[in-house]
Amino acid sequence: MATLIIHGGAGGVRPRAERDHIAQNLLTIARNTWQRIHAGTSALDAAIYATVQLEDDPLFNAGLGSKLQCDGKARLSAALMDGAMERFSGVINVEGVVNPILLAAQLQGERDRVLAGTGARDRAIELGLAMGDARTERSIRAWRERRDGSTGTVGAVVLDHEQRIAAATSTGGRGFERVGRVSDSATVAGNFASPNAGVSCTGIGEDIIDGALATRLVAHVESGRALAEAADDLIRRMRQRTWSAGLIALDQDGSWIARTTTDIMYWVAIDASGEHRFADPDD
């Protein structure tokens, strides 16, 4: 039984028009990915596809339109984990790569599977991946005015018809961070999967790393706990520690969850019962 869940970040509640825009874009991407899953696309390829679509949408803080660091440059990070193979790959603070998840995907088959900075950029050029400026007029204007973006980190977790799980996460970072700061997205704290479960996190990277959120949740499921029960316990721990983060996850049975300690997290899920989305505070 296939299941798909994607997110477009967590944080404060945006105006209604922005929330509707986010919801519609997430739903479109989820529907397109769902069609591919039912056509036989693997969990890994479906997670990559969904994340590329999220990166290509300048509404989200990943790929095109990412937030800028303190020096005004966009440095992107992404990670991909094949749960069936238990193989992680990622890129950290890479410049000039519009779709960092595609570089992470290429690294899945290589010996050096996590690359950073210029090394990641050089490998992207060697592979012939599309290069370009991830900044947009909107992101540059937000940087100049020191304004937060509308959404955050993006991610996708997929269970395919062969019961394989994959997780992908991509981000432009926190925004205005010190050059060299590493986010959670390209670590196993923010993106993790096994044959039993997969997780993608969003929120304050340092909090996600402190809590080892993705790996902690998967470990609980592997120990025999129900996904929802384990997630609820983790959320309680996060609130006690005042960690500001959200996560999406699913298990090998097709159960899924979306939990956050922030005011809102933007997500859409599709399973055998239909389409689901984040609760709107005005509804």
Q: Using CA atoms, how far apart are residues 187 and 58, in angstroms rounded to an integer?
A: 24
Strands 114-116 vs 87-94: parallel, antiparallel or unpaired: parallel
Run of H or E residues at 170 = strand 165-171
CB 229 within 8 A of CB 242: no
Supply 231's token pair: 């997630």
Q: Using CA atoms, how far apart are residues 57 and 66, in angstroms rounded to an integer?
A: 10
In order of 63, 90, 109, 147, 167, the CA distances from 188 in angstroms are 20, 10, 18, 29, 11
Catalytic residue among 41, 51, 153, 260: 153
In order of 6, 88, 98, 206, the CA distances from 109 in angstroms are 24, 10, 21, 29
DSSP annotation of 278 reads: P
Q: How many CB atoms lie within 10 A of CB 240?
A: 8
Residue with tokens 């204007």, as numbered in its chain: 141
Query: For this structure, is 260 an active site residue?
Result: no
Supply 75's token pair: 């440095």
Catalytic residues: 153
